[in-house]
């Protein structure tokens, strides 16, 4: 292929030259070029290497269907791999590089793989790399990892910005070609809100690629007028450079808009590069066009072998001749139009090789009148190469069309344009769960039965005649508007297109050659990116693979970045012939989103860095930070882990904080606890069903600890719930489980018990919670001038007082998570810091000390209090935790039936126990596995694991909580924790290490 820029013509702007670099060499193109057209105009014939054999590849297509022309775009952090040169809009300063080659594109040592082609057949990796295992570990895997992949993803953070937007419309039209424009005109004419999306920079589709006429004027002019009309229409949104990626349930589609990809990186900074659209449409019209099929013949992958329609489009749209002398090989009439277009542009068309026995009708006759030789009933049997196509070898076909006969006929050329028919782009229709049928006349799959509110028009529906596509698009748009609720069904007038009678296509899935595939030096490629040949398909069939899904994975056909847009139908047709069944019976592979590759940055949108998981801060956070707190992440919350003083590490700070709580008073920010208001006439009934213990009879102003199970009987969450009024409850949850608990409650209310009059509201952010804990906590509370008495008789354990504290409205709960006298004071969030500072001032005389989550964990573990998610892991029941007595015997609740299963009451289940290391100075690692019998080497029978482990400042030694098989009945036994280089011995005890009588909770 030796491309040349035409002196005139095309849709490029020759007054705006653009400089770019490919593989370090400078070139020039024009505004309106793609990277592919600019490279072609510069005479670059080899732009890539294939994946397996590293064979040289040229430009084969013109859009998303191109399987070969992959490049690495840009440098540094903004670099992006595996973009198609056919879809990269040229801009000044663009820098691109070829991929999958070393040391260079023209001299690639990976080409040595081609010599190993007899070994690298389909499935060779399944047969070669299995044994011996040591060879896989030391040779195969490291080598394959170095060889794998095409382009290289940058390691640095993406500097670009991305966005997501949601939209609703009455009619979404996907595809801005003839049918899509007609559908949008009709739908908008009938009053519908319309969104029209097309992947190209200009609307018009194939109307821009070929010299068609509508109403005796160039079709491109009609397209421009239609777009102008749509742009001036109210309730109309045009989205060029926008590709529909996926079609999901209930007419929900995801689109990717390339907002600034056509701009130089310097101009792109500060604005959104790409935008993901989430569109919900009442009606959808798919006018996604069709992909031209390549032909499978000997050496059909040479640089300079192109799809006929693409070759013509480069000449007509971009003013670039892909070659000076061309041969066209085809089994249908469309290639004749391409030949005439090339001829009009100045390319010498040496011949049209027609695989059909008879080449007559309008198009062949038009070619003959132009002086183009037409060679019917012939096929290409070889392609000569000298840095690209230099000639083709043609032979006649026998009467059956299954083999060649006669002498070779050599035709000198530098371009071979091929056409095997067209595959309607049914990807989105299939993703919508629509059913396909195989059209024998078109030799392609077309839409058959729609499941959602969708219509397909134009080439995507197998309608290729321009006039028919316009009419079908207009009818689809009008019908979609009517079904969306807009009466009238008005059809706009459509231009007329000249109708020409065409000769039917002849399906040819494998062009006969001089040797069967796999028997000679020539290769017959089906998948041009992954180097899958017709011989590979035949081998897979011989080895017993009959499902097209299995063959796809065994041979890797259709698994490249193009996802088989040009290869899949040829592959399944060859498979069908090999196993002796109809193509319709073989069926297609599954069409999955996304339709084209999507940058991860676009999927993430603005959810990056801090926004990917927003950090939540309590109202007291700034005070804590100023006090030197070290924070930890708990869910999305920033929580004070500990408050080190000068010279203190974690261990010393926690020891000091623990002793302060045990001996005087500590203050703790508990604002992150989940808080849910539950109201309604049936609130008590509902909470009774959610918790394993009873709440319906809980008195107003009283609190109760509750345990919540999933329906499989496993502990889900815990917390204290208070009855504030007859129909008003206040539930607290774990910090990390707040959202999940609210979701759980709503799921049961909305799907299982909708008859209950209950309303749940998250109020976590509404209240700041400050815990005062320690023997002097009552004195601190009294110093804060509460509006209610706080003596033990009036304010007993597990009760609520409401009023004001320090002049601030408050709810005060007499609950304890440390085992000491404690109060949890809830005040409005806006006054949280004010109250905290007041409490610090009131407690100064009593030695008040702020403490963090690490201290809180030590204190609660000394009392044997659990943490859901630490002492539980989704496989733990209330009985396993020693809380079986909490489980009601008289009421039903979520998980009750499961708790009766024999497996959940087996005596050898893991149960919560305490552990005391025999060396009181050694702290067991959390997560350490426990054994009863130590062996010289693994495997050993693991009987449990450590869930929490600390050094207790007040008890003066290390201790731990653990889940141990049958542990509750084996207190006093010695367990061993085998660790790297040492073994720790510990004795099982009851999981309660401090104040077993519970005297300290009342001060």
- The CA dihedral of 565, 569, 571, 575, to the nearest 10 degrees, is 160
Six-digit token string for 137: 């570990």
Q: How many CB atoms lie within 10 A of CB 599?
A: 18
**258 backbone dihedrals φ, ψ, rounded to 5°:** -90, 90
Place of tokens 């000198």: 412
Question: What distance in Å separates the CA atoms of residue 477 and residue 394, rounded to the nearest whole number?
Answer: 46
- The CA dihedral of 926, 929, 935, 937, to the nearest 10 degrees, is -80
Radius of gyration over every alpha carbon of the chain, rounded to an integer in angstroms: 37
- In the chain the first and final C-alpha atoms are separated, in Å, by 92
Q: How many CB atoms lie within 10 A of CB 547?
A: 14
Strands 13-22, 94-98: pairing kind = parallel
**Of the candidates 256, 916, 344, 317, which has an alpha carbon nearest to the alpha carbon of residue 597?**
256
Kind and range of the H or E run holding 11: none
Tens of pLDDT along 314-354?
999 999 999 999 999 999 999 999 999 999 999 999 999 99
Kind and range of the H or E run holding 633: strand 630-634
Q: How far is CA 620 from CA 246, 670, 835, in A?
A: 45, 10, 9
Cis, peptide link before residue 103, omega less than 30° from 0 = yes
What's residue 1's pLDDT? 52
Tens of pLDDT along 205-221?
999 999 999 998 999 99
Handedness of CA 924, 925, 929, 933 (dihedral sign): negative
User: For the chain, which ranges sit under pLDDT 50?
Assistant: none
Between helix 219-231 and helix 178-189 the angle, nearest 10°, is: 30
**DSSP secondary-structure letter at 611?**
G
Place of tokens 């100075």: 921
Environment class of 902 (CB within 10 Å of its CB; exposed 0-12, middle 13-18, buried 19+)? exposed
**Of the candidates 812, 819, 893, which has an alpha carbon nearest to the alpha carbon of residue 856?**
819
**Of the candidates 692, 688, 686, 697, which has an alpha carbon nearest to the alpha carbon of residue 747?**
686
Tens of pLDDT along 464-498?
999 999 999 999 999 999 999 998 777 888 999 98
Predicted model pTM: 0.80
Tens of pLDDT along 106-144?
888 887 777 666 767 777 766 777 677 778 778 777 777
Average pLDDT, the chain: 94
Q: Are 712 and 896 in contact (CB under 8 A)?
A: no
Question: What distance in Å separates the CA atoms of residue 198 and residue 217, rounded to the nearest whole number?
Answer: 23
Q: Are 517 and 510 in contact (CB under 8 A)?
A: yes
Cα 622 versus chain centre, distance: 37
Tens of pLDDT along 843-880?
999 999 999 999 999 999 999 999 999 999 999 999 99
HSE-up of 598 (CA within 13 Å, CB side)?
A: 23
Question: What distance in Å separates the CA atoms of residue 37 and residue 877, rounded to the nearest whole number?
Answer: 67
In SS3 terms, 753-767 reads as: CCCCCCEEEECHHHE
Tens of pLDDT along 811-843?
999 999 999 999 999 999 999 999 999 999 999
What's residue 52's pLDDT? 84
What's residue 817's pLDDT? 96
Which residues of 99-193 form beta strands (DSSP E)?
A: 161-174
Helix, strand, coil percentages in the chain from 3-state DSSP, rounded to 5: 25, 30, 45
Cα 520 versus chain centre, distance: 43
**Of the candidates 670, 324, 289, which has an alpha carbon nearest to the alpha carbon of residue 464?**
289
Six-digit token string for 670: 């508990």
Residues 6+ apart with CB under 8 A from 193: 168, 169, 170, 171, 235, 236
Place of tokens 């049918």: 179
**DSSP secondary-structure letter at 101?**
-
Between helix 362-369 and helix 334-344 the angle, nearest 10°, is: 20
What's residue 86's pLDDT? 97
**DSSP secondary-structure letter at 583?**
H
Six-digit token string for 483: 């079904």
What's residue 608's pLDDT? 84
- Please, which residues bridge with residue 103 across strands? 108
Six-digit token string for 72: 């690495």
């Amino acid at each position: 292929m030796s491309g040349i820029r035409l002196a005139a013509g095309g849709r490029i702007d020759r007054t705006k030259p653009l400089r770019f670099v490919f593989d370090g060499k400078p070139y020039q193109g024009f505004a309106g070029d793609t990277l592919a057209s600019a490279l072609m105009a510069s005479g670059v014939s080899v732009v890539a290497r294939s994946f397996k054999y590293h064979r040289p590849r040229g430009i084969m297509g013109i859009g998303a269907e191109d399987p070969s022309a992959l490049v690495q775009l840009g440098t540094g952090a903004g670099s992006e791999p595996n973009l198609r040169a056919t879809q990269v809009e040229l801009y000044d300063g663009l820098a691109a590089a070829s991929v999958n080659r070393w040391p260079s594109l023209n001299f690639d040592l990976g080409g040595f793989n081609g010599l190993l082609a007899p070994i690298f057949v389909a499935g060779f990796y399944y047969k070669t790399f299995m044994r011996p295992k040591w060879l896989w570990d030391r040779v195969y895997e490291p080598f394959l990892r170095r060889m794998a992949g095409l382009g290289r993803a940058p390691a640095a953070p993406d500097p670009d910005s991305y966005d997501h937007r949601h939209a609703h419309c009455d009619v979404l039209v996907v595809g801005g070609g003839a049918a899509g424009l007609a559908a949008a005109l009709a739908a908008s004419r009938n009053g519908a809100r319309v969104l029209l999306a097309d992947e190209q920079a200009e609307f018009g589709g194939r109307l821009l690629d070929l010299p068609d006429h509508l109403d005796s004027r160039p079709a491109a002019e009609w397209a421009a007028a239609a777009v102008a009309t749509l742009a001036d229409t109210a309730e109309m949104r045009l989205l060029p450079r926008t590709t529909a990626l996926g079609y999901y349930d209930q007419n929900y589609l995801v689109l990717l808009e390339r907002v600034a990809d056509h701009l130089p990186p310097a101009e792109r900074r500060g604005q959104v590069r790409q935008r993901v659209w989430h569109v919900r449409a009442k009606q959808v019209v798919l006018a996604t066009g069709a992909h031209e099929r390549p032909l499978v013949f000997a050496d059909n992958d040479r640089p300079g072998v192109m799809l006929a329609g693409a070759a013509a489009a480069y000449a007509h749209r971009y003013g670039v001749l892909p070659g000076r002398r061309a041969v066209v090989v085809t089994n249908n009439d469309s290639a004749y139009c391409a030949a005439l277009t090339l001829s009009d542009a100045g390319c010498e068309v040496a011949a049209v090789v027609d695989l059909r026995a008879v080449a007559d009708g309008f198009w062949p006759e038009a070619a003959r009148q132009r002086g183009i030789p037409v060679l019917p009933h012939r096929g290409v049997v070889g392609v000569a190469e000298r840095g690209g196509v230099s000639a083709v070898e043609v032979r006649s076909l026998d009467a059956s069309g299954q083999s060649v006969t006669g002498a070779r006929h050599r035709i000198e050329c530098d371009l071979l344009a091929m056409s095997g028919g067209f595959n309607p782009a049914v990807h989105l229709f299939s993703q919508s769960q629509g059913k396909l049928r195989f059209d024998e006349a078109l030799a392609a799959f077309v839409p058959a039965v729609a499941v959602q509110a969708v219509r397909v028009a134009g080439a995507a529906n197998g309608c290729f005649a321009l006039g028919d596509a316009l009419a079908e698009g207009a009818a689809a748009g009008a019908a979609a508007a009517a079904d969306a609720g807009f009466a009238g069904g008005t059809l706009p007038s459509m231009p007329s297109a000249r109708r020409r009678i065409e000769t039917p296509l002849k399906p040819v899935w494998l062009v006969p050659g001089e040797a069967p595939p796999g028997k000679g030096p020539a290769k017959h490629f089906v998948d041009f990116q992954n180097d899958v040949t017709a011989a590979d398909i035949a081998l897979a069939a011989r080895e017993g693979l009959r499902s097209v899904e299995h063959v796809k994975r065994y041979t890797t056909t259709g698994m490249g970045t193009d996802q088989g847009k040009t290869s899949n139908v040829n592959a399944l047709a060859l498979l069908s012939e090999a196993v002796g069944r109809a193509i319709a019976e073989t069926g297609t592979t599954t069409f999955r989103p996304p339709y084209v590759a999507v940058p991860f940055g676009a999927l993430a949108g603005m959810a990056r860095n801090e926004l990917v998981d927003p950090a939540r801060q309590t109202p007291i956070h700034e005070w804590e930070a100023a006090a030197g707190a070290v924070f930890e992440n708990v869910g999305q919350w920033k929580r004070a882990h500990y408050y080190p003083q000068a010279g203190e590490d974690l261990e010393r700070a926690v020891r000091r904080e623990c002793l302060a709580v045990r001996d005087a008073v500590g203050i703790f920010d508990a604002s992150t606890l989940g808080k849910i208001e539950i109201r309604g006439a049936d609130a008590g009934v509902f909470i009774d069903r959610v918790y394993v213990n009873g709440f319906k009879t809980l008195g107003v102003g009283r609190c109760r600890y509750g345990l919540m199970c999933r329906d499989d009987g496993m502990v889900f969450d815990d917390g204290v719930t208070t009855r504030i009024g007859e129909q008003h409850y206040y539930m607290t949850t774990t910090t990390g489980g707040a959202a999940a608990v609210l979701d759980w409650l709503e799921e049961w209310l909305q799907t299982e018990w909708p008859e209950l009059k209950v309303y749940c509201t998250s109020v976590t952010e509404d209240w700041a919670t400050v815990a005062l804990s320690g023997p002097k906590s009552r004195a601190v509370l009294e110093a804060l001038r509460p509006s209610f008495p706080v003596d033990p008789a009036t304010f007993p354990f597990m009760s609520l007082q409401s009023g004001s504290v320090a002049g601030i409205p408050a709810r005060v709960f007499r609950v304890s998570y440390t085992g000491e006298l404690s109060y949890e004071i809830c005040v409005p969030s806006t006054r949280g810091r004010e109250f905290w500072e007041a409490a610090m001032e009131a407690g100064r005389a009593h030695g008040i000390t702020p403490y963090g989550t690490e201290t809180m964990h030590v204190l609660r573990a000394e009392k044997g209090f659990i943490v859901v998610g630490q002492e539980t892991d989704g496989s733990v029941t209330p009985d396993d935790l020693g809380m079986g007595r909490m489980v009601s015997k008289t009421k039903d609740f979520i998980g009750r039936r499961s708790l009766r299963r024999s497996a959940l009451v087996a005596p050898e289940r893991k149960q919560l126990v305490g552990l005391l290391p025999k060396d009181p100075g050694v702290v067991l690692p959390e997560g350490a596995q426990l054994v009863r019998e130590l062996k010289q080497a693994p495997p050993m029978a693991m009987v449990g694991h450590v869930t929490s482990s600390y050094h207790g400042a007040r008890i003066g030694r290390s201790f731990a909580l653990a889940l141990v098989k049958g542990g509750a009945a084996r207190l006093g036994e010695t367990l061993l924790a085998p660790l790297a280089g040492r073994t720790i011995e510990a004795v099982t005890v009851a999981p309660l290490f401090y104040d077993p009588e519970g005297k300290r909770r009342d001060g």
